[in-house]
Chains A and B, each alone.
Chain A
């Protein structure tokens, strides 16, 4: 047996090297030649030993061999190697054949004839298997085993035995049909039991077949221990001949459970090896347990019974092996899916609406933190749903029950430790043949995403505040101016008022007029402070209907003197009847302010042309409103357009570079878009576009074209006062 294993091992390696030879490398070729020579030598040795064993397995006196291994060894060798090398291995067996047969004192011509018939069986078997199993020798599948049983263990011995018997009849004058019968059954049984283990081990089809340490090894051990004990007893029990004829089928009856065990649980390799073990035990016991008159009949009986039992058992073991592989594949796939669900925080579920039968995947149990043993019901789910979302949850259930439409919604869970989870549920409704509704869907735990969105929103709000504070710094001079003007008026008026009252007679009318103006200027200063407070307060974003024109006017009013100080000529073209937009007024004003100040800064170095700045509002396509700020400044290079909106990118010496970045995030939060484009002439235009609020337009008043900002400002102040 060890010689066979070595032979098979090396011939496998030889075949492996056969592929490498294509690389045409001398070193490899040399090694390849060495491998072939070693394989050939081992086949020779295996053939020799097989033949010696075959002779030994003849039950005395002078009965035919129970098994004849040489042919099976040749078949296995050919199955393991490519056809172009078959002649080498067949020739390699010749010396062994000569040594064995000449020692048996057979005439030389018969010896050669027998070699030809032996080779013919192996060639037929290997060629047929190769033809009908698609080239491979898959002994782990039903199809592979069935093809092997039919081609290699039945057809090939059936045909070659005619040649065998013919040779014996011609050269030795033996009984043709008796010889045919003897050789046929011996060859069939040998092929059936010896070839599968050799080929399976030789071609590495032992994954999941050979015992591994652990329970599987224990099972193999248990099977063989039982088989050897029971077989040893039953095959060595020799009751007086004729007394127990009725028991002639007892041995196989007792042995069958072990063979079934091997076929059902342990696979084709174990099945072949178990049958081999039975053969060995039967031969050791003298094959006498069949209680037949002659040893030859006993042997024949053993052969026929084992062939009849082994062929279907091997097929069965192939089926079972396939089933196990399918099951393993399904398990691996399930594990893969489960791991995927775990990683994606997404579980799947099904819900039969008529019976309220709910099935959850493992991950859904993990999300809900329920034990998998607990049966899922709507009531159980209800205990986890966040109390505030309970009405939503049951409304969703009722709606799904009613219309059978797909649904998608989000709700929260409150876990036993009071923590909150956010779930996103998507389900698809299907109806079976009887019209019963079933939903299949996915549940995703979006808690982390939701929390990070909240964190992001908070950071954005803080950053917006920083950006506003930065603008505040830039506006300090402007703000000081805005407050100083009315203060100056207040002090001057109050001084005049005091003087008028102190005159003799007091100028009461004049004093009243100056006091009135004092109040007006006080209101004007107060308005400035109010606007500043609104624009620079740190608060969470709110949603309201915003008149973009009015918001723009306020920002323009605050920044006018800053623009004026920078000698910027502001032209406001605010569309009449502009629809309202939905959003946070202060945040939108922050964006407008940022665009205005940027435009003004971009024109600081301009001396050769008017520092013209146009701020324009207009309707945009798709029920949107667009605001654009166009300057005549330095502009930007087209390749820098993307960088403009990156945080900390700035072209200003004192800038932080967060204004445009924050502005864009604010506009995107308003489901809008903020972009920049170079002008056809000089400078650049920054625009944003946001969706309109449903219904409502602004008042019909408009700035129109403003060439004297101060006048506009004064008008604005008067309107506010």
Chain B
């Protein structure tokens, strides 16, 4: 049996950290949730993470900051950004940096699945 893929979530919003892991587990993933980029970097999940669902706006290190840091560390984890700010300039920017997808909250289950599929295919 293939080990379940680990999906990590980094979001400062507690409600996201509660609800999203439940849904992803229903999809069949192993899930870890972190409240900040710093917490994620400090954990031992970085290397095992097959896909990173990352909030853009966070106090301290933001989503794009983490993306750059991972690139710098040559940790090429597929990233799906999620954000509650409807800012049309942010999406092309993060996609150009190599992100798989950028979803605006609230997003549908369908959109999330498709983004995850693309991300996991990328690995």
Q: Residues of A at under 8 Å CB distance from B?
A: 477, 480-481, 484-493, 495-496, 499-500, 503, 510, 513-514, 517, 520-521, 524, 561, 564-565, 708-710, 714
In the bound complex, CA of A490 to CA of B84 (Å): 14
Determine whether the beta carbon of A485 is less than 8 Å from that of B84: yes
Extra pairs beyond A480-B85, A517-B19 (18, CB < 8 Å): A481-B57, A484-B105, A485-B84, A488-B84, A488-B105, A488-B106, A489-B19, A492-B22, A493-B18, A493-B19, A493-B22, A514-B19, A520-B15, A521-B19, A561-B57, A561-B84, A564-B59, A710-B59
Q: Which residues of A contact B14 (CB under 8 A)?
A: 714
Determine whether the beta carbon of A492 is less than 8 Å from that of B59: no
Q: Which residues of B contact A496 (CB under 8 A)?
A: 19, 22-23, 26
Determine whether the beta carbon of A486 is less than 8 Å from that of B109: no
Per the 8 Å Cβ criterion, residues 75-112 of B in contact with A are 82, 84-87, 104-109
Determine whether the beta carbon of B16 is less than 8 Å from that of A477: no
Q: Smallest distance from the beta carbon of A202 to chain B beta carbons, Å?
A: 98
Determine whether the beta carbon of A521 is less than 8 Å from that of B26: no
Determine whether the beta carbon of A495 is less than 8 Å from that of B84: no
Q: Smallest distance from the beta carbon of A316 to chain B beta carbons, Å?
A: 102
Determine whether the beta carbon of B84 is less than 8 Å from that of A480: yes
Q: Which residues of B contact A714 (CB under 8 A)?
A: 14
Which residue of B is nearest A489, CB measured? B15
Q: Which residues of A contact B22 (CB under 8 A)?
A: 492-493, 496, 500, 510, 513-514
Q: Which residues of B contact A491 (CB under 8 A)?
A: 106-109
**Known A-B contacts A564-B57, A565-B85; A487 and B19 likewise in contact (beta carbons under 8 Å):** no
Question: Would you list 11 pairs from A and B whose C-beta atoms are within 8 A, ordered by A residue?
Answer: A477-B87, A480-B84, A488-B15, A489-B18, A491-B107, A492-B23, A493-B18, A495-B26, A510-B22, A520-B15, A714-B14
| Nearest 7 CB-CB pairings of A with B | A488-B105, A489-B15, A488-B106, A499-B26, A484-B84, A496-B23, A495-B109
Q: Which residues of A contact B16 (CB under 8 A)?
A: 485, 488-489, 492
Which residue of B is nearest A476, CB measured? B86
Determine whether the beta carbon of A517 is less than 8 Å from that of B23: no
Q: Which residues of A contact B13 (CB under 8 A)?
A: 485, 489, 710
Which residue of B is nearest A484, CB measured? B84
Q: Which residues of A contact B23 (CB under 8 A)?
A: 492-493, 495-496, 499
Q: Smallest distance from the beta carbon of A713 to chain B beta carbons, Å?
A: 10
Q: Smallest distance from the beta carbon of B40 to chain A beta carbons, Å?
A: 16
- Name the one of B12, B19, B82 contacting A710, with C-beta atoms under 8 angstroms: B12
Q: Which residues of A contact B15 (CB under 8 A)?
A: 485-486, 488-489, 517, 520-521, 524
Tell me if B20 counts as interface (CB < 8 A to partner A). yes
**Known A-B contacts A487-B106, A491-B108, A491-B109; A481 and B19 likewise in contact (beta carbons under 8 Å):** no
- Name the one of B26, B59, B84, B86 contacting A709, with C-beta atoms under 8 angstroms: B59
Q: Which residues of B contact A487 (CB under 8 A)?
A: 105-106
Q: Smallest distance from the beta carbon of A123 to chain B beta carbons, Å?
A: 110
Q: Which residues of A contact B109 (CB under 8 A)?
A: 491-492, 495
In the bound complex, CA of A493 to CA of B22 (Å): 8
Q: Which residues of A contact B87 (CB under 8 A)?
A: 477
Which residue of A is nearest B12, CB measured? A710
